[in-house]
Amino acid sequence: MTESKCECGLAPVLRTALTFQNMGKRFWGCPNFLTGKPCKFFHFILGDKVIEGKARDLLLRLKDKQLRFQSENERLKKENNDLMKARADLIKGNDDDLMKENARLLVENGNLLHENGVLIAKSESLVKKIKHLEKKVKRSERICIRS
């Protein structure tokens, strides 16, 4: 290796080529390789031979499989994130609905308590009136008996 840092100023990483032409050859490359950064740092290790034949075919198939798994994994991660978000929204929505219902029930409860108080007062007033009337009746009965 001639340079100790790539064009990004980072320490290069050792990788293994998985292409048809260079299968199995190791190289020093930029850590930002495949991230879109335009760093051209790339040095093959001298003396590594290309893997050919059945081994190369197998490695190419494994590389394809790995890429498919990676893409499936990304899709599942996204799906999982969407589901987690939907779940959080659902829980939040339910909480909001329950808070509203609770507030409505509290108001209703307050109204019923007030109504109950009014009815108790009316009931007590009626009991007084009845007692008063009962006394009047007894008095008039006494008056009737005497006369």
Interface with Zn ion by CB under 5 A: which residues?
A: 6-8, 30, 32, 39
Taking the C-alpha atoms of 34, 35, 41 and 43 in order, what is their torsion angle to the nearest 10 degrees?
A: -30
User: Side chain identity at 125, as an amino acid letter?
Assistant: S
Shortest distance, CB of residue 27 to Zn ion, whole angstroms? 13
Shortest distance, CB of residue 56 to Zn ion, whole angstroms? 28
Shortest distance, CB of residue 7 to Zn ion, whole angstroms? 5
Give the separation between CA 127 and CA 147, rounded to whole angstroms: 30
List the Cα angle 38/44/47 in 5-degree steps: 175
Give the separation between CA 56 and CA 133, rounded to whole angstroms: 113
